[in-house]
């Protein structure tokens, strides 16, 4: 049975051949110090650490990790050794946490040769310590025992080693940490750098890092917005591309640089380019007084893509909440006014003289004062968000940008799919010119439905049916073009079902550029053929995923992401096809088959409620502005605006042209 040790407790060891397993919330380095009968550690040669990992009977891992296995053979240690201390330390200077209190308590388990646990010890109560003695294995009257120690040191490994009685502990600690830093540089699976962590380094670290990094150009004071250089991937993507730079040799006498060499570019303020004092002036000017000017990419994330995505969603939430605060204050003022007026009316005293009028005026004044204050706060919040939007919008990469953004002029077919795409804009009636990009994660977990019917929308009611259908097709084409444009060439296939050919004119640019996986399927036979093919593919991929047997898929099967565009539903669909479509809508997204419907629900009314689940499962988008989308926090009705190309713009043709060229270059992906 496993013994749960508490601090100070000891436990006999039934074996001499042991494994000590360490698990911690963040990567730690493990070391072992061998002491004599008095507990003294003879010198650096009696410490097994990542820089000198093996001693007789003891071997420690060479790298920092969240899980370690230390092999200990107590038969093999020298006779003079009476104590083996297991040490853990945080690899400082690699951007990780600097204290054990910042992450989950480390757990140390002593196991026998067959892996059965002998004793367990969770080291709790740690706070600012960055190194600790976890366990001691000690010889008592010829038998070995284990003791839970859990002694932490705020001064790090050096302080710990000094306490063990070592001469020049700092030097030894330095070489251990250095070895870990080099180990990190070699390891391919090193976690991508995290800028927030890097930012936490003290200033001295920054200065020191910046000096030896040959690859890092001095940061230009007025960096152009990131979006201008979409070809330059954000930091983590860069890391593997660079050959590992050996760590710069420490200057004589100078501090040793423990940082991950390929992380050096990370602390560069790349994610906050527009923010410097020389950032574009108009943003700083439009931010409300007394608040910092907003900066694009000012959110958490591993890449610029992700940071902007999170920032946009943050703005979305803030706008929703700021508006909720305003609306609830107004509602409250309204209700209070009603109540007070009622009270005045029901009070007989108010009928004589001016008392009633005075009370009414007072109630009205209270109401106006509260709404005015609420308005003031709302204006402040909206100004801040508008200023942020002004900075963020130009910094958005193609996948998130409006079609009139200059990013599209510099468009190149990307090498990696983005994490999300923009489906349109959202705004609230309080400030209609403050548009929040509506970003949806890829692959689309919900299919899209561009509603070509009237619905209850006022804007749609003004248009005739044919016009509305045309607009629906246009915005569907805009969605499809964007999805194609933001995926690497050949990694995203689009199939179109257009049974009656009614959408031929709208689909013509896509067909002409040869970016579709085939001509739009027409007629009942075409519909059935495409659906059967897709259903089979989804079936196969699903079976493979469930069985974990991806390699058993037929060799011809393309596992690229796929989008099925269905126009004119249910024209050309028989019952079987309808069921297949429902199946695809339900099961497709999990295996990368997404759905985009351009349909008027009224056309399919004959199917009755059978199709309700299908419509509900799709994200309804409209070809004209319509306030049908609710946010996930407070449920305001947001007005959705579909994407549109600027009038007379050639951006669609240009982007599709680039795609066609890229397909030619990258080979048969275009099929």
Partner 1 sequence: MTVNMTKGQAINLEKQGGGSLTSVRMGLGWQAAPRRGLFGSRTREIDLDASAVLFADKQPVDVVFFRHLVSDDGSVRHTGDNLVGGVGQGGDDEAILVDLQRVPVHIDAIVFTVNSFTGQTFQEVQNAFCRIVDETNGQELARYTLDGGGNYTAQIMAKVHRAGSGWQMTALGNAANGRTFQDLMPAIFPVL
Instruction: Give whichever of 148 and 538 is closer to partner 1, judged by the CB atom.
Output: 148
Which structure tokens are listed for 476? 């569907």
Peptide bond into 570 cis (omega under 30): yes
Q: Applying CB under 8 A, which of residues 17, 162, 284, 324 lies at the interface with partner 1? A: 324
Q: Applying CB under 8 A, which of residues 80, 196, 224, 633 lies at the interface with partner 1? A: 633
CB of 112 to partner 1, least distance (A): 23
Q: Applying CB under 8 A, which of residues 300, 362, 377, 610 lies at the interface with partner 1? A: 377
CB of 610 to partner 1, least distance (A): 36
Site membership for partner 1, residue 333 (CB under 8 A)? yes
Site membership for partner 1, residue 325 (CB under 8 A)? yes
Peptide bond into 443 cis (omega under 30): yes
Site membership for partner 1, residue 326 (CB under 8 A)? yes
Closest CA relative to residue 488, chosen from 552, 435, 429, 560:
560
- Contacts of 46 by beta carbon, 8 Å cutoff, 6+ apart: 33, 34, 35, 55, 81
Distance of CA 522 to the CA centre of its chain: 40
Instruction: Give whichever of 256 and 634 is closer to partner 1, judged by the CB atom.
Output: 634
Beta strands in 460-576 (DSSP E): 492-498, 561-567
Site membership for partner 1, residue 359 (CB under 8 A)? no
Instruction: Give whichever of 302 and 332 is closer to partner 1, judged by the CB atom.
Output: 332
CB of 438 to partner 1, least distance (A): 20
What three-state secondary structure class fits 335? helix
Site membership for partner 1, residue 292 (CB under 8 A)? no
- Computed on alpha carbons and rounded to an integer, the radius of gyration of the chain in Å comes to 33
Instruction: Give whichever of 36 and 379 is closer to partner 1, judged by the CB atom.
Output: 379
Q: Applying CB under 8 A, which of residues 73, 120, 317, 603 lies at the interface with partner 1? A: 317
Site membership for partner 1, residue 318 (CB under 8 A)? yes
CB of 376 to partner 1, least distance (A): 8
Cα separation, 216 vs 502, in Å, equals 55
Instruction: Give whichever of 317 and 404 is closer to partner 1, judged by the CB atom.
Output: 317
CB of 340 to partner 1, least distance (A): 11
Site membership for partner 1, residue 40 (CB under 8 A)? no
Site string for partner 1, 107-146 (x = CB under 8 A): -----------------xx-x-------------------
**Angstrom distances, CA of residue 417 to CA of 268, 351, 397, 537:** 25, 73, 12, 22
Site membership for partner 1, residue 7 (CB under 8 A)? no
Please name the helix (run of DSSP H) or strand (run of DSSP E) that holds residue 89, with its range, or none.
Answer: strand 83-89
Instruction: Give whichever of 80 and 124 is closer to partner 1, judged by the CB atom.
Output: 124
Binding segment for partner 1 (CB under 8 A), chosen from 7-15, 330-338, 505-513, 597-605, is: 330-338
Instruction: Give the residues across from 70 on adjacent strands.
Output: 20
Q: Which residues ranging from 334 to 353 are in contact with partner 1 (CB under 8 A)?
A: 336
Q: Applying CB under 8 A, which of residues 70, 374, 423, 515 lies at the interface with partner 1? A: 374
Binding segment for partner 1 (CB under 8 A), chosen from 66-74, 316-324, 470-478, 612-620, is: 316-324
Instruction: Give whichever of 377 and 650 is closer to partner 1, judged by the CB atom.
Output: 377
Cα separation, 330 vs 308, in Å, equals 33
Cα separation, 224 vs 276, in Å, equals 11
CB of 388 to partner 1, least distance (A): 15
Which structure tokens are listed for 503? 């959408």
Cα separation, 430 vs 205, in Å, equals 46
CB of 125 to partner 1, least distance (A): 6
Site membership for partner 1, residue 60 (CB under 8 A)? no
Instruction: Give whichever of 53 and 333 is closer to partner 1, judged by the CB atom.
Output: 333
**Angstrom distances, CA of residue 396 to CA of 141, 224, 392, 485, 640:** 70, 12, 6, 15, 19
Site membership for partner 1, residue 607 (CB under 8 A)? no
Q: Applying CB under 8 A, which of residues 107, 341, 463, 634 lies at the interface with partner 1? A: 634
Quickly tell me which residue has 């909720």 as its tokens. Answer: 324
Site membership for partner 1, residue 381 (CB under 8 A)? yes
Please name the helix (run of DSSP H) or strand (run of DSSP E) that holds residue 536, with its range, or none.
Answer: helix 523-547
* Cβ atoms of 148 and 7 closer than 8 Å: yes
What three-state secondary structure class fits 41? strand
Closest CA relative to residue 33, chosen from 143, 183, 160:
160
From the number of C-beta atoms within 10 Å of its C-beta (0-12, 13-18, 19+), residue 39 rates as middle
Alpha-carbon dihedral angle through residues 316, 318, 320, 321, given to the nearest 10 degrees: 160
Site membership for partner 1, residue 240 (CB under 8 A)? no
* Cβ atoms of 31 and 47 closer than 8 Å: yes
**Can you give the binding site for partner 1, defined by CB under 8 A?**
124-125, 127, 317-318, 320-322, 324-326, 328-329, 332-333, 336, 370, 373-374, 377, 381, 633-634
């Amino acid at each position: 049975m496993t013994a749960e040790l508490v601090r100070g407790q000891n436990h006999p060891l039934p074996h001499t051949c042991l494994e000590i397993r360490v698990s911690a919330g963040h990567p730690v380095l493990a070391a072992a110090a061998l002491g004599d009968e008095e507990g003294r550690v003879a010198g650096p040669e009696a410490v097994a650490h990542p820089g000198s990992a093996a001693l007789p009977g003891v071997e420690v891992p060479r790298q920092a990790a969240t899980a370690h296995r230390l092999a200990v053979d107590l038969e093999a240690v020298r006779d003079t050794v009476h104590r083996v201390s297991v040490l853990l330390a945080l690899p400082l200077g690699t951007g990780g946490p600097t204290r054990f209190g910042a992450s989950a308590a480390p757990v140390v388990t002593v196991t026998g040769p067959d892996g059965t646990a002998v004793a367990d010890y969770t080291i709790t109560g740690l706070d600012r310590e960055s190194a600790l003695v976890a366990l001691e294995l000690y010889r008592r009257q010829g038998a070995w025992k284990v003791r839970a120690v859990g002694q932490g040191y705020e001064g790090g490994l050096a302080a710990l080693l000094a306490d063990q009685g070592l001469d020049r502990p700092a030097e030894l600690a330095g070489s251990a940490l250095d070895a870990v830093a080099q180990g990190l540089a070699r390891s391919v699976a090193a976690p991508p750098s995290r800028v927030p962590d890097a930012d936490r380094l003290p200033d001295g670290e920054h200065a020191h890092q910046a000096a030896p990094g040959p690859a890092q150009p001095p940061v230009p004071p007025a960096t152009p917005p990131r979006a201008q250089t979409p070809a330059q991937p954000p930091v983590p993507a860069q890391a593997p591309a660079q050959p590992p730079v050996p760590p710069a040799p420490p200057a004589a006498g100078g501090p040793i640089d423990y940082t991950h060499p390929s992380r050096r570019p990370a602390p560069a303020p790349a994610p906050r380019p527009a923010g410097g004092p020389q950032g574009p002036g108009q943003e700083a000017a439009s931010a409300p007084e007394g608040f910092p000017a907003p900066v694009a990419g000012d959110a958490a994330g591993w890449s610029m893509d992700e940071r902007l995505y999170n920032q946009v969603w943050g703005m979305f939430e803030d706008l929703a909440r700021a508006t909720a605060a305003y609306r609830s204050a107004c509602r409250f003022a309204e209700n209070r006014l009603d109540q007070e007026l009622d009270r005045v009316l029901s009070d007989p005293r108010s009928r004589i003289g001016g008392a009633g009028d005075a009370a009414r005026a007072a109630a009205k004044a209270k109401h106006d004062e509260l709404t005015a204050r609420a308005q003031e706060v709302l204006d402040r919040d909206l100004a801040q968000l508008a200023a942020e939007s002004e900075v963020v919008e130009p910094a958005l990469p193609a996948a998130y940008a409006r079609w009139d953004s200059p990013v599209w002029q510099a468009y190149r077919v990307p090498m990696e799919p983005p994490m999300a795409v923009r489906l349109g804009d959202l705004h609230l009636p309080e400030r209609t010119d403050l548009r929040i990009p509506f970003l949806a994660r890829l692959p689309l977990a919900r299919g899209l439905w561009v509603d070509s019917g009237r619905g209850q929308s006022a804007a749609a009611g003004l248009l005739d049916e044919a016009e509305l259908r045309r607009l629906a097709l246009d915005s569907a084409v805009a969605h499809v073009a964007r999805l194609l444009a933001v995926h690497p060439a050949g990694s995203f296939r689009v199939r179109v079902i257009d049974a009656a050919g009614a959408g031929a004119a709208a689909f013509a640019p896509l067909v002409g550029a040869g970016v579709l996986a085939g001509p739009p399927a027409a007629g009942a036979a075409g519909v059935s053929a495409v659906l059967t093919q897709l259903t089979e593919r989804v079936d196969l991929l699903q079976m493979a995923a469930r069985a974990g047997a991806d390699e058993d898929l037929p060799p011809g099967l393309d596992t690229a992401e796929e989008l099925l565009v269905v126009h004119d539903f249910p024209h050309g669909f028989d019952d079987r096809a309808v069921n297949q479509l429902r199946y695809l809508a339900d099961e497709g997204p999990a295996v990368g088959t997404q759905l985009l419907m351009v349909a008027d629900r009224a056309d399919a009314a004959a199917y009755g409620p059978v199709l309700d689940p299908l419509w509900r499962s799709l994200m309804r988008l409209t070809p004209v502005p319509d306030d049908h989308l609710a946010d996930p926090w407070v449920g305001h009705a947001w007005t959705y605006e579909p994407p549109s190309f600027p009038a007379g713009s050639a951006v669609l043709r240009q982007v599709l042209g680039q795609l066609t060229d890229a397909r030619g270059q990258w080979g048969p992906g275009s099929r």
